[in-house]
Chain A
């Protein structure tokens, strides 16, 4: 019980720290929204000219985008500190974490709250609204109940990937460029339906680096689409299971990393 209270205090403190500059906070949200509107705008430009991408219409693409935004928003909320984790190691700040009587991973995660989540939720809900209308999604009770489950699974996948890639810092110390490539650049892959890539890449994004489960496969379920590409009907519902597997593997990697960790001495 005490542990939970300590975590909540850490969490609240980090929110206060981030809200210190209110104008800056609002402009930050605005800038993120502009970035995503730009991305959706480019999709619009393309679809305005080509009507669809490999069988995916504007509405369906927007829905794909909304799943992505929700997953990414919640992942950012929980796992944001991992992005700069190598700095904690290089500066020796991680040593302080290790001597406290709390789980190191818990402390790292609760030490920073990422406000960009607010922007992602705005984008997620807006895209969900327009996606539903444009693509004519019928929200049955089953779909409504499974939506949070799918988003939860997607967060485990995205968060698990972050954990693995940050754990690399235990061996290499500085791994900023790797973290940015794996976390941010690969996001671009699933802005589009995964069936535009060649089979090798589809296999990679399904079984090795399973980000296709964040939006592409579950979108088939919500949109009542029949499968194409590598899709097996069973993969539609694979997101929660894949999420759990990825998360178990990643926490294991993190533990191995912590045990391997030697302080930089700074």
Chain B
């Protein structure tokens, strides 16, 4: 797919979001609500002990993590029901006859969506949080660059996960249960609420076996400075490997799904 075409689709999807201004305001409140709940939770937990460091996190570090992981998560906002709706109303047929890759079309749509949420929600929430909470982000240009790289890798992974989950609509009439299941696993294993460092030992093998920690946890800890710069490259390599694995899964599913797909008239 040509880059110009890709960005054209990104821009259309972005503009679609802009029309809902009230939703955007509510979205800021919504995101901030989670930041408030989890920072309160960590403060309450830490206030019970004399020790100031738990599993490698000081109170400032864990509050910073709670704010930034939510910020990253909001930036990753995308509509995971697009494919399902296209299958339901039959417009998926149009996608099949287009000369463009369906995956990249879908990615472009997601990027536009997410770009809007980053600008309209993530930035305001981070700025408000900087004033309200004790947050410390190390300022190292190399780290920032590594974060951006890991952030985009995580984004592609999430996009692929949603793509694969959406393709299930080719086989099942109702995919909301799958989406909820995916959301449940993601919430638990991505480190979106509790960083992986706090997980008990017996859960670590499961966490390492799944791709979720590469979507939220690792990009965030690169930014907060919890990971030494020397280890960053191995994280990014793991992310790229997961992109490869998920890519294979997506293309296999797409290939099989196209054969399975039945369009019921108009």
Q: Which residues of A approach B to under 8 Å, CB–CB?
A: 21, 24, 27-28, 30-32, 34-35, 37-39, 41-42, 45-46, 48-54, 172, 174-178, 180-181, 185-186, 188-189, 192, 196-198, 201
Contact = CB atoms under 8 A, between A and B. Distances in A.
Contacts of A176: 23
Contacts of A186: 33
A188 B184 contact: no
Interface stretch (B172-180, B223-231, B240-248, B250-258): B172-180
Given A34-B181, A176-B23, A52 B37 contact: no
Q: Name the prevailing secondary structure of the B interface residues.
A: helix
A61 B109 CA distance: 41
Q: Chain B interface: which size bin?
A: 35 or more
B33 A181 contact: yes
B177 A31 contact: yes
Contacts of A27: 177-178, 181
Contacts of B29: 181
Interface stretch (B41-49, B89-97, B133-141, B147-155): B41-49
A53 B33 contact: no
Contacts of A50: 45, 48-49, 54
A178 B26 contact: yes
B27 interface: yes
27 contacts: A21-B173, A21-B174, A24-B174, A27-B178, A27-B181, A28-B180, A31-B178, A31-B180, A34-B181, A41-B188, A42-B194, A45-B194, A45-B198, A53-B44, A174-B20, A177-B20, A180-B30, A181-B26, A185-B30, A186-B33, A189-B33, A189-B37, A192-B37, A192-B40, A192-B44, A197-B36, A198-B40
Contacts of B209: none
A198 B199 CA distance: 27
A203 to B, nearest CB: 14
B33 A185 contact: yes
B185 interface: yes
A49 to B, nearest CB: 5
B193 interface: yes
B188 A42 contact: yes
Given A31-B184, A46-B41, 11 more contacts: A27-B181, A28-B176, A28-B177, A34-B181, A45-B199, A50-B45, A53-B41, A54-B48, A181-B30, A192-B37, A196-B43
B208 interface: no
Interface centre among B36, B45, B49, B198 (most CB of A within 10 A): B45
B20 A38 contact: no
Contacts of B181: 27, 30-31, 34-35
